[in-house]
A and B are shown apart, each in its own frame.
Chain A
Amino acid sequence: MNRRSILMAPLIVPLVTLAAPAVRAAGESGDGARWAEIRRELFGDRPIEPAGDRLVLEAPGRAEDAAVVPVSFTATAPRRSPDGVRSVHLIIDNNPAPLAAVFRFPPDGADPAVATRIRINEYTPLRAVAETADGRLIMAERFVKASGGCSAPAGKDQVAALARLGRMRLNGADAAAPGRPATLQVLISHPNNSGLQFDQISRTYVPPHYLTTIAIAHAGRPLLAVDADISLSEDPSIHFTFVPDGPGPLTVRAEDTKGGVFDGAWPVAGAPGG
């Protein structure tokens, strides 16, 4: 937890304005100074291998909307092989809080393949660093051209957004069947305010208010746990894939920085009733 907090929002925000000019220069020139700093904070001296085709990271080269940039990663090695992936750090070098999220996959959980949406504040390398079953680190990277995503004004319809705060939605459950891989999408309505959005009337920053954890389980079996931060987009979305071993509720619990706890449950793979 200590390590995590260093690169995440609560501590990093006060540093942002001071650090930004230097970071921008480093990012645009392709200089790895920023990454070296992040890497030291997150992984110390541990070696990191290029993932090659073991980990595929996908993101648009140029984002259409910097506040909603689709990104996905897929680990291709069999779960129980030495290269099987247990966790993935999603890192946006030049964001104010570079660590967007850590996805943790229990050995019997979801496949290490996730699609989500992130905010990108300026042109930046994007990285997925996966830890394998035997404790090695492998990394895939992309470069994304986008700017302004973290400080971009929240939502297009503020009234509608507040009215559905905490509401959840599960898409794809209809097609799920026991013994077959099912890809589901969890949507959680939340402003995920970054703390970097300035309100001209109150002359203050909109306070940070974002999801910190998302835990997904099926019939009591943990599938995926996410430690999240401000770089996840408003209304966080997570696509994940798992094999239902029988009927049971899919449950989601999300927690935010203001102590909000949001629960959702849906029948999946033939579970009876509501």
Chain B
Amino acid sequence: MAAGRRAVLRGAAVVAPALLASAAVPAAGDPLPMRQPAPGLHVHMGVHEESTPANAGLIANIGFIVGRDAVAVIDTGGSAEAGRRLRAAVRAVTDRPIRYVINTHVHPDHVFGNAAFVADRPAFVGHRALPAALAQRAPHYREALRRTFGDAMAEASAAVPPTLLVEDSLDLDLGDRRLTLRAHATAHTDNDLTVFDHAGGTLWASDLLFAQRIPAVDGSVTGWLAVLDELAALPARRVVPGHGPVSEDWPGALADQRRYLTVLADEVRAVIRAGGTLERAVETVGRGEAGRWVLFDDYHRRNVTAAFVELEWE
């Protein structure tokens, strides 16, 4: 499918002046350690922590795919430093041009390393709803970056909006290596994008799949369950989750998360049907999932809140 048919190419004029300043920040840190689960597929595994200066916001899986002619980066980490170290990892492997930087969704741990790639003049690729989400959330996220990393790193970690939007799906060709990008309906967020690498049958699901780390519902619990069914139908041989280890158990790798989201939806619905309040749901729903997920206590109650205010409209 031609890129022009379903994608909107937008000018790069939106790049903020602050980025020019960020280019002058000295490179910090070594190339990220990468794994190569398949030829040309490079993944850095995020840690199951909140972002801190010590982890530089490297809490999500990020990486790149190398084709004959070019490189596509998939997500850039939670800070300019994370982005610079990812870029150094690309350059440790290949000097081919970085033609695409794909952002799988708006969350800070996936987009705030973008600034490190501006000088490469790639197309920044995102879901059709990413610009609006980024515009609304950037000020909020900037404050969080300041609190976490301090003013200098927050300033360097500028939000770089997408220049190439995926309306529905879009194929990118890196030279004998075709990637199919899909823009999904509201699930983890309202701007989730997945990447299918045909060469090795790898689905880069990003945060549509959490393994080990508790999923965070920032979109729609029912929408997410529906998208999981769509993903399960893809002929993947391997999946790269947004958090947690790469798996070759497909679609078995979806099972834990599907169970969690199903329990969440079912138990919230039961509270609503019984006339229960949000407070009651937060106290009672999903307790059987405690102990099965890293960071459960940090996110679960918030997930219940999100599910409740969604499902009470059913």
Contact = CB atoms under 8 A, between A and B. Distances in A.
A202 B135 contact: yes
Contacts of A29: none
Contact of A152 (B133, B140, B272, B279): B140
* Chain B binding surface, main DSSP class: helix
A84 B147 CA distance: 46
A157 B220 contact: yes
A1 interface: no
Given A157-B220, A169-B313, A198 B277 contact: no
B194 to A, nearest CB: 18
A199 B309 CA distance: 24
Contacts of A76: none
Contacts of B136: 153-154, 197-200, 206
A199 B161 CA distance: 13
Nearest to B159: A200
B139 interface: yes
Nearest to A198: B139
Contacts of A213: none
Interface string A168-188: 010110010000000101010
B259 interface: no
Contact of A70 (B135, B139, B279, B302): B279
B306 interface: yes
B3 interface: no
A171 B305 contact: no
Range class of the A interface residue count: 35 or more
30 contacts: A58-B279, A60-B279, A64-B282, A68-B305, A70-B278, A70-B279, A72-B277, A153-B140, A156-B189, A156-B190, A156-B218, A156-B219, A156-B310, A158-B129, A169-B312, A171-B272, A171-B275, A172-B275, A185-B275, A185-B312, A187-B313, A197-B136, A198-B136, A199-B136, A200-B138, A200-B139, A200-B159, A201-B131, A206-B136, A237-B278
Contacts of A156: 186, 189-190, 218-220, 306, 310
Interface in B181-213: 186, 189-190
Contact of B190 (A158, A183, A202): A158
Contact of B140 (A58, A117, A148): A148
A187 B135 contact: no
Interface of A: 58, 60, 64-65, 68, 70, 72, 115, 117, 148, 151-154, 156-160, 164, 169, 171-172, 175, 183, 185, 187, 189, 197-202, 206, 235, 237, 239
B134 interface: yes
Contact of A115 (B186, B277, B310): B277
B38 interface: no
A235 B135 contact: no
A201 B306 CA distance: 26
A200 B309 contact: no
Contacts of A235: 309
A118 to B, nearest CB: 12
B177 interface: no
Contacts of B304: 64
B48 interface: no
A157 B220 CA distance: 8
Nearest to B302: A64
A151 B140 contact: yes
